[in-house]
Chains A and B, each alone.
Chain A
Amino acid sequence: MEYYSSNLIEEYLRTRKIPSTACSGCGLGMNHKVVIQAFKELGLKTADIIWGTSIGCAGRQTFATFKGDGFAGTHGRAYAIARGLRIALPPEKKIVLSVGDGDAFGIGLMHLIHSARVNADITVIVHDNLGYQSTGGQFGFTTPMGVKTDSSPYGMFEPNLMSEGMDVMHILKGAGATFLARHVVLADGAMAVESVKKAILNRGFSLVHMPHPCVTNFAMKHLGSRVPVEIFRWFKERTAPLGQEKPNTIWATGIWHDASNTRPEFSEVMWGATEKIRRTGAL
């Protein structure tokens, strides 16, 4: 895999924003790279893609980095904006959202589920740094049990979307998402690129969940060290491919659900109905 080669940068990124303002050692850059690599391998041009983000590290560090058109919504709302935009854009334009876990699975979960419900053609990349990191490191809805954060000083004990056998992927599948995958890039980066490509090619709602290390807050608080190799090791030990999970596995990686192009897509449904009603007065 080509890692941030200069031609990837020149083709897809605004050089003014490189290097990004993310902390050095942060795993976000690796995730970002996977997404850009997928664009490249699909032969997409910047003109083919609208890059949407929200706030938080995932949003702020990648907004305006992508060279093409881009928007950033307020916290948790990019999914509703993207759904409206989907109606207005020609179907061949891709909408890719680069968001955080708090954004997608906390404040924005309802909008996310409704986007899956209607199978809107949006690719959501959730850069999961296991909590609210740009606000200094509070727990979120994917923070592993027992983990100490600034707002779980005794260790994480409140049930969340990744505890007691629950998995946020089940919720999204039940809501109607047509492509779901999870990858921990430092363990399976090449597969992550393949999944992002599949996600983009699915004409419907796709989400790729990519947990990544946060050195500054998460690692510092939980492991007492911001040395990247330590948190990288901690991550790797808790990651396993789907079907090969070990007792301590938190992140089962791979394709969780691939029903690509099996459900009618949202904007097609809406415009199809509009067209028929306009012509015949009924559905």
Chain B
Amino acid sequence: MKRFLETGNFAIAEAAIIAGCRFFAGYPITPATELAESMSLRLPQVDGVYLQAEDECAAMHLCIGAALGGMKAMTATSGPGFILYADPFGWALGCEMPMVVLNSGRVGPVSGITGAPGQGEFYNTRYPTQGGNYESVVLAPNSAQEAMAMVIEAFYLSERLRMPVTVLADQLITDGWEDISIPETEEEMKEMGMRFWPRKFHPGPDFYPATDALDIPPVQMGKNTGGLCSDWTPTEQGYDIEEVEDHHKHAYRLIYKVRNNRELFAHHYEKKYMDDDPDLVVVSYGTPSRVVNTAVGRARSQGMKVGSLRLINLWPFPDEHFTRKAKYLAVELNWDGQLVREIQRAVPKDSDVHFLGICGDLPTNQDLLETFDKILKNQPLQRKGWEMEAW
């Protein structure tokens, strides 16, 4: 095991290499630039290729090409680049091409604030492309160390599920400096709970079974299998055809290979002080969860019956954590409230759901403790003149 004091971007580059990634296409954008830089340095040393694309749309298409040729590929960006992935993302989902995408959130909309953390990409990562009829898998770490682990996990899941998997980070994770331990052997990887799945290829001809089965390798070009892969509806023969019945089978697989195999990733969450059915459950993901965990600990010492639920697997949304009628508070790095909407949908009827939004910075312990106290006392939430009762 090697230890470093380094950035999340550095850790993620090492993680990708450990996971077998040998192709990275990037386009500079804060706060994911240093990941591209790390890859440009590291990939040639391990027999890999780094390409700088003409834009993010090309970057992900370059990854598609490399993946079609049998390589494990990755690309990374922030919100303004993530929207340019929309076109290739749809292709990669529809053609079931494994790859890993990292989105490091900053403050939007548009260019917004580049060097500050934001969480405006919650729904964007669920619906990264048009058309619907698919599920998305999104993992959201809250530290550089966990970002490393989740990138390795994302490669593992992308192979087994045959699809692009997104790691949703934020500026503090990718740009922040932290103590990072990197495994050097397979044993160490296993000890650290990291999983590995090699790239395989499908000999065909049955490329697109209408099944939710795992572990069907992707189509590969250049193996002379007659492999076909297109943005049109594939059938068992791989032909394009415009028939609703065939398209339904295709969509079934895109949706249910994920929904029916949630046990693969549903264990990615963290609960603190949740064993005694707390009155208030504070829900968060990414870096704000680190403050939330501290604040919840302090609230407990002050006698408040509060628990912390930190989501790592964001999508498909883990409804199973929200079956109990209680008070819920979503703490998010945005002012419009995104995670909170999903919690409202998942909780039992008439549950009490609240929202605390802050953006460009983390909430303070003080903010959080005051908010917990008010919610527990059924007092209205008000902060800096922003009316929060709507939630």
Contacts and interface: CB of A to CB of B under 8 A. Distances in A.
Interface of A: 16-17, 46-47, 50, 53, 55, 60, 63-64, 67-74, 77, 80-90, 93, 110-111, 114, 270-271, 273-275, 277-278, 281
Interface stretch (B2-10, B87-95, B182-190, B316-324): B87-95
Interface in B62-96: 62-71, 73, 87-88, 90-91, 95
A67 B61 CA distance: 24
A77 B61 contact: yes
Contact of A278 (B44, B62, B228): B44
A69 B227 contact: yes
Contacts of A274: 43-44, 47-49
Interface stretch (B217-225, B257-265, B266-274): B217-225
A83 B46 CA distance: 21
A17 B230 CA distance: 15
A237 B64 CA distance: 43
Interface residues of B, number: 48
B231 interface: yes
B228 A71 contact: yes
Most buried by B among A77, A84, A114: A84
A111 B25 CA distance: 14
B11 to A, nearest CB: 22
B61 A111 contact: yes
A203 to B, nearest CB: 17
A228 B83 CA distance: 44
Contacts of A271: 49
Contacts of B91: 73-74, 77
Given A46-B224, A270-B49, 6 more contacts: A64-B230, A67-B226, A69-B228, A85-B222, A88-B67, A274-B47
Given A83-B62, A274-B49, A63 B69 contact: no
Interface of B: 23, 25, 43-49, 51, 53-55, 57-58, 61-71, 73, 87-88, 90-91, 95, 221-232, 237-240
Nearest to B58: A80
A88 B58 contact: no
Contact of A277 (B44, B61, B88): B44
A72 B222 contact: no
Contacts of A110: 54-55, 58
B76 to A, nearest CB: 16
A68 B61 contact: no
Nearest to B241: A64
A70 to B, nearest CB: 5
B65 A80 contact: yes
A87 B51 contact: yes
Contact of B221 (A63, A89, A275): A89
Contacts of A89: 69, 221-222
B47 A71 contact: no
Contacts of A88: 23, 65-71, 222
A64 B68 contact: no
Nearest to B69: A88
